[in-house]
Chain A
Amino acid sequence: MSDPIYKTDALIAEDIDAYLDQHQNKTMLRFITCGSVDDGKSTLIGRLLYDSKMIFEDQLTALENDSKKVGTQGQEIDFALLVDGLAAEREQGITIDVAYRFFNTEKRKFIVADCPGHEQYTRNMVTGASTADLAVVMIDARKGVLVQTRRHSYICNLIGIKNIVLAVNKMDLVDYSQEVFDKIVADYAKFAEEIGIESFTAMPISGFKGDNITLAPSDNTPWYGGPSLIEHLETVEVLTAQDAEKPFRMPVQWVNRPNLDFRGFSGQIATGAVKPGDAVRVLPSGKTSHVRSIVTYGGDLDEAVAGQSVTLTLTDEIDCSRGNVIAVADNPPEVADQFEATVVWMDDEALLPGRGYWLKLGSQTVSAAVAEPKYEVNVNTMEHLAAKTLALNSIGVAEVTTDKPLVFESYADSRQLGGFILIDKVTNATVAAGMLHFSLRRSQNVHWQAVDINREEHARLKNQTAKVLWFTGLSGSGKSTIANEVEKRLNLMNRHTFLLDGDNIRHGLNKDLGFTDADRVENIRRVGEVAKLMTDAGLIVLTAFISPFRAERQMVRDLLPEGEFVEVFVDTPLEVAERRDVKGLYKKAREGKLKNFTGIDSPYEAPENAEIRVNTVEMSPQEAAAYIIDRIMPLK
């Protein structure tokens, strides 16, 4: 199978300069192939690599040997073996991750994201789709439009891929029947309209035999009037070309300051174009200036466009740092802190509504919480289901609140300023991807009231520095007893304190909350906010809550100024706490009468770097209290 569309050996051999000239001006298309194991996806990609001669002789020899050893195509070459990379996958015979492949034709360079199609790999498909200009949705001609076809198409559309190719594969196994092809296309068109796919290009192919891959129509499909797969891939419009037409925005990645005379802002232009002299606005501050120059290593530019990485200098000395966005002055993006968003969950540990996660969007990183989802989408039927949380591979719509204002655009307008990831604050895993829809109006209408008596003034009057002593530990570890002892001693020292514990909080402010993980998160969030208000009033706050999750304790720490949060780990082994069992709760939990009890059937994540740790096996409550006070003095 050799073909004139691919790398022309003749030109390379005869006139390498002409070839290089042509190749230098190629554009690049990134696409994703979606299909399940049996759809022949890996075979198609193997075929593209093989036909475009991206496979070398030594690899081919290895391939031929492997095909005989583990291949599934008898004595013929099993192209799928070329692309299934990791050892674990080869043994199981499936692709479990996203792999990237490369090939060239005369007109373009291609990057293919090869993604598995099983439902349990939704996250991998979303990952591969996020950088794609185009999607090839594969269908087995013998099977027609299946549940998985709908799922793949839904995800591609969700990620905003406008170019969809419906590749009806294995046409050789249905005798290249036009009737079969037309019926599949009609079925798909109906479904595509339902989920809002505006257009798609259907083609009958055989990845195994090579029909309509490079040349169309193949001898077997004279009735087909469209382009071959390669011809189509070579001519569709790429995403960055569309981005260049939008208003100018550049997230600032890095402030470039080699000496006192130069201050530049480095970033990759997300959308639009910029020229020296253009009026720009720095968000979120809203300050305006003009572009002085577009600096690059190769010399200053007259213009830069979407996709380019540049350094801008401005005519005015205005505040601008990493996370800010430089935008065209008269049409800037919005700034808000409450949004509606689609969230794709990617971690084994499910979403905890209300928990603080890091949210990264462009070069901005803020703390964010996701509310209980409005609904979850069944990715197979597109039905909206009621949901309390989102588990691995679930997709839902929810409100997202950030602790600082975000410069953003709706995902439909800009992938760069509308797409975000969520990062677990403790494990640092990337747990979700999200797409912002719009800001919620209430965030535009609630403003901070500037007050004249500030937190420092409140504390000064009380002759102390405000602090939160956050006691954490198992039930029965002695938190309340020790906190009470510490408060008594502070009181004798004329300090203004307040003790928050389960009794005064759970019976009032939080009486609507139970003991599920989500309720525990909300419980701690509210306690954290109350503690923060009290430190604003200048008080020394003591809190005694099990607070089992590191992430929530971190969330409260992040609410407060540096140094005000003091984590006190009341370290009592489970056996000891259970033996004490002051309230008889362990007994109930062991008998199964009490669910979600920390230490029994709900985890306790011990602090890793607590400011203070007291060991209640070795210390009495009085000794522990004295030890804590020693460590927090002088409190002024």
Chain B
Amino acid sequence: MTSLTHLERLEAESIHIMREVAAEADKPVMLYSIGKDSAVMLHLAKKAFYPSPPPFPLLHVDTTWKFKAMYELRAKAAQEAGMELLVYHNPEAEERGINPFQHGPLHTDMWKTEGLKQALDKYGFDVAFGGARRDEEKSRAKERVMSFRTSSHGWDPKNQRPELWNLYNARKKKGEGIRCFPISNWTELDIWQYIMKEQIEIVPLYFAEERPTYEYEGGLFMADDLDRLEQAMGTLPEITMRSIRFRTLGCFPLTGAVESSAKTLADVVQETLLTTTSERQGRVIDKDGGDASMEKKKQEGYF
């Protein structure tokens, strides 16, 4: 008997976790951000419950500032999985026209952190699946698979439930919630390999192509929506065509691109392995607030 490969073990573990939640939660939901980790989560959900469709909806807490290509894949992916797709916009952020240029950290706080809390409360979801991985960031390394949240969505890192063997405690009182991370033990490389092995469709922005770009505060960005860019920045920055791709996807004005010629999955993996900067470096969020910023955001309710 040959033993399971690491990808087979990771897949089986993630499926086990998703089924535990489906069996024990009152009203679970899968958070869907359209990125590559979300694509893997969705694929795992399809596998976990086949031939049934996954017994929960997808929820996208949207900022309205995502790349166009992401919105295109979103509708298609949900439909193919036979799942309901819920899109939530924080009405206050919408009304106040919160954007990444003028409002800085408030943009993430209002659209994502507040938006997520509002959406969970509105629909009454008690368990929310997220695609966070322990290799992403230091405070995530200690996150549980089932991470308990108070009724005000707070996280207390010193008071986490111990998790032993493959036994997950999903019990909670009414009003309290759980964030569940089925791909906790996957690394970025595992994600790419799995996408390759299972031929999972991802947003084309992960592959290099000639795209319109501009430079802003030392970073390289894609000019995805010229009208909004001009509106938000006052004047249009200088646009140059470059061969770029993205290692991680978020709001287009906040997600740094890398110059690249990686056009296939194998190219992307190759570049990932040979690269010298970490994945989240392209994102602005980890840095404001200094060293412990992600931990702080999580205590406030960010995913």
Contact = CB atoms under 8 A, between A and B. Distances in A.
B173 A428 contact: yes
Interface in A370-392: none
A428 B193 contact: no
Contact of A297 (B47, B134, B164, B277): B47
B142 A28 contact: no
Given A111-B185, A256-B52, A419-B167, A24 B197 contact: yes
A240 interface: yes
Interface in A410-426: 415-416, 419-421, 423
A361 to B, nearest CB: 8
Interface in A76-106: 83, 85-88, 90, 96-102, 104
Interface in A215-266: 238, 240-241, 244-245, 253-254, 256-258, 262, 264, 266
A98 B189 CA distance: 23
A433 B135 CA distance: 27
Interface stretch (B4-12, B66-74, B111-119, B229-237): B4-12
Given A13-B270, A254-B22, A86 B295 contact: yes
Contacts of A268: 12-13, 15-16, 166
Nearest to A303: B1
Does more than half of chain A's interface fall in helix, strand or loop, or is it mixed?
Answer: mixed
A414 B25 CA distance: 27
A98 B22 contact: no
Interface in A250-287: 253-254, 256-258, 262, 264, 266-268, 273
Contacts, number: 197
A16 B266 contact: yes
Given A58-B277, A59-B278, A309-B11, A428 B169 contact: yes
A505 to B, nearest CB: 32
Contacts of B15: 268, 309
Given A12-B273, A56-B277, A85-B141, A309 B50 contact: no
Contact of B9 (A24, A240, A244, A419): A240
Interface stretch (A125-133, A459-467, A521-529, A587-595): A125-133
Given A127-B164, A297-B50, A20 B269 contact: yes
B160 A428 contact: no
B139 A86 contact: yes
A27 B6 contact: yes
A478 to B, nearest CB: 29
Contact of B23 (A20, A96, A253): A253
A244 B296 CA distance: 43
Contact of A28 (B9, B167, B184, B277): B9
A87 B3 contact: no
Nearest to A62: B291
A177 interface: no
24 contacts: A16-B270, A24-B7, A85-B139, A87-B139, A87-B296, A97-B157, A100-B185, A101-B135, A102-B185, A104-B187, A240-B9, A254-B23, A256-B49, A266-B49, A268-B16, A273-B1, A307-B4, A309-B11, A309-B12, A309-B15, A311-B50, A363-B20, A421-B169, A428-B169
Given A56-B277, A305-B1, 5 more contacts: A97-B142, A126-B162, A130-B165, A253-B19, A253-B20
